[in-house]
């Protein structure tokens, strides 16, 4: 196959993920030209100030001109508008992708706006709760999964080129059906975030416990929930609405399991509790064995100054 490298990459959205892609490309693919755009003028100004990309464009259309890879790094709710802004400006043969956390709806939005383009949706399962062009770092994707969800009939050469691109940034690449991706992520990411938002909100609403006490006496488990619950509200609102069916299906199953757990506690059913905790402990060990976290006593939290959080989710 001919040289599969992309010569020019355009990033639409220069937040955590967009800026991390830019930094990773600078480090691992230094000959690749970078162009970028963000809808927020302040973000564009900051990106230009720190030299995040070679050229910061005032419009999305101007940013994608001449690029052979375009990556939309915006919240899924903004994907359609961002794609529409580039229609008519794409270079012939350009590969179009994204970083959204839900795929079925995103693929439909991209296809509707860019009907003739070569589209390979993607989801790098990596990030932190921080946001903005200064929050990114080049190592964000190393050892993390990037899931590609091309539609049936997509040019296999384009899929291979995008896979090679993400591999070069340090990611492990998997290809799967978009609907299956959405169900898997509803279980492993979306539901945990929904639970985190709920637990933190409930803790702050209990009248017998003041907000100061919640903050002062937070144990490790609650601190982990607050870190997840600090993720970008706009992004997560859009994820839950765009992946509604899979999230509701998973939430229903969780509600049923929670009821069984409630009954076990009420009935002093220690055997049921022990069996559940044993099974879930094995899942944690499996995650560590696959290199998706480390087995330190602090559950992988890095307390050193400046150490990036290792949350699974992100704010584009």
Which one of 139-143, 193-197, 211-215, 242-246 scores highest in mean pLDDT? 139-143
Q: Which stretches does DSSP call E strand in the chain?
A: 8-12, 33-37, 55-56, 69-72, 95-98, 118-119, 122-124, 145-148, 172-175
What mean pLDDT do residues 104-125 have?
94
Report whether pLDDT(296) > 70: no
Per-residue pLDDT at 210 exceeds 90 = no
104: three-class secondary structure by DSSP: helix
Mean pLDDT to the nearest integer, 279-305: 61
Higher-pLDDT residue of 290 and 29 is 29
Tell me what pLDDT residue 288 has. 65
- Closest by CA to 10, choosing from 137, 84, 98, is 98
Q: What is the CATH number of domain 8-177?
A: 3.40.50.720
Residues 95, 8: Cα–Cα separation, whole Å? 11
Give Cα separations from 280 to 148, 174, 273, 285, 287 (angstroms): 28, 25, 11, 9, 11
Residue 224, pLDDT above cutoff 60: yes
Highest mean pLDDT among 93-102, 215-224, 252-261: 93-102
Pairing of strands 122-124, 145-148: antiparallel
Residue 158: per-residue pLDDT: 96
Give buried/exposed letters for 35-60 (b at 16+ CB in 10 A, else e): bbbbbeeebbebbeeeebbeebbeeb
Contact in structure between 50 and 136 (CB atoms under 8 Å): no
pLDDT above 90: residue 216 = no
pLDDT at 293 over 80: no
Q: What is the pTM of this model?
A: 0.76
pLDDT of residue 68: 96
With tokens 């584009």, the residue in question is: 316
**Cα(313)–Cα(190) distance, rounded to whole angstroms?**
9
Residues 106-133 have a mean pLDDT of 91
In this prediction, residues 215-231 reach a mean pLDDT of 75
For domain 180-289, give the CATH number. Answer: 1.10.3660.10
Burial-class residue 252 by CB neighbours within 10 Å (0-12, 13-18, 19+): exposed
Q: Where are the domains of the chain?
A: 8-177, 180-289
Does the pLDDT value for residue 273 go beyond 60?
Answer: yes
Whether the predicted pLDDT of 31 surpasses 90: yes
pLDDT at 48: 97
Please tell me the least confidently modeled range out of 71-75, 150-154, 288-292, 299-303.
Answer: 299-303
pLDDT given for residue 208 in this prediction = 65
CB crowding 222-251: b at 16 or more within 10 Å, else e: bebbbbbbbbbeebbebbbebbeebbeebb
On average, the pLDDT of the chain sits at: 86
d(CA 123, CA 141): 11
186-195: buried (b, 16+ CB within 10 Å) or exposed (e) per residue? Answer: beebbbbbbb
Q: In this predicted structure, what is the pLDDT of residue 147?
A: 96
Highest mean pLDDT: which of 116-120, 227-231, 296-300?
A: 116-120
Between 287 and 132, residue with greater pLDDT: 132
Over pLDDT 90: what percentage of the chain?
Answer: 55
Assess whether pLDDT exceeds 80 at residue 174: yes
Three-state secondary-structure class, residue 95: strand
- pLDDT in the model for residue 79: 94
Strand, helix or coil for residue 155: coil
List of residues 6+ apart from 214 with CB closer than 8 A:
203, 204, 222
* pLDDT score of 314: 46
């Amino acid at each position: 196959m001919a040289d599969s490298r992309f010569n020019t990459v355009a990033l639409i959205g220069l937040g955590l993920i967009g800026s991390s892609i830019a930094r990773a490309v600078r480090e691992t693919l230094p000959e690749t030209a970078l162009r970028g755009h963000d809808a927020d003028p302040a973000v564009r100004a900051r990106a230009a100030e720190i030299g995040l990309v070679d050229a910061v464009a005032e419009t999305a259309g101007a940013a994608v001109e001449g690029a052979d890879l375009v990556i939309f790094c915006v919240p899924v709710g903004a994907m359609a508008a961002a794609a529409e802004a580039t229609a008519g400006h794409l270079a012939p043969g350009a590969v179009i992708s994204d970083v959204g956390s839900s795929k079925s709806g995103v693929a439909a939005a991209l296809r509707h706006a860019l009907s003739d383009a070569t589209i390979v949706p993607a989801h790098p399962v990596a990030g932190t709760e921080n946001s903005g062009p200064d929050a990114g770092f080049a190592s964000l994707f190393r050892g993390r999964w990037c899931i590609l969800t091309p539609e049936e009939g997509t040019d296999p050469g384009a899929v291979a080129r995008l896979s090679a691109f993400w591999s070069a940034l340090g990611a492990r690449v998997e290809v799967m059906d978009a609907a299956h991706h959405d169900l898997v992520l509803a279980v492993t990411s979306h539901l945990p975030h929904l639970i985190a938002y709920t637990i933190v909100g409930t803790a702050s609403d209990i009248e017998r416990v003041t907000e100061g006490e919640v903050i002062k006496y937070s144990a490790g488990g609650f601190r982990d929930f607050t870190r997840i619950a600090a993720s970008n509200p706009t992004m997560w609102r859009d994820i839950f609405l765009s992946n509604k069916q899979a999230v509701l299906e998973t939430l229903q199953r969780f509600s049923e399991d929670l009821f069984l757990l409630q009954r076990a506690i009420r009935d002093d059913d220690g055997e049921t509790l022990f069996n559940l905790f044993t099974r879930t402990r094995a899942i944690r060990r499996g995650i560590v064995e696959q290199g998706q976290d480390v087995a330190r006593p602090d559950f992988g939290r890095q307390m050193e100054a400046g150490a990036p959080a290792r949350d699974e989710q992100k704010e584009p």
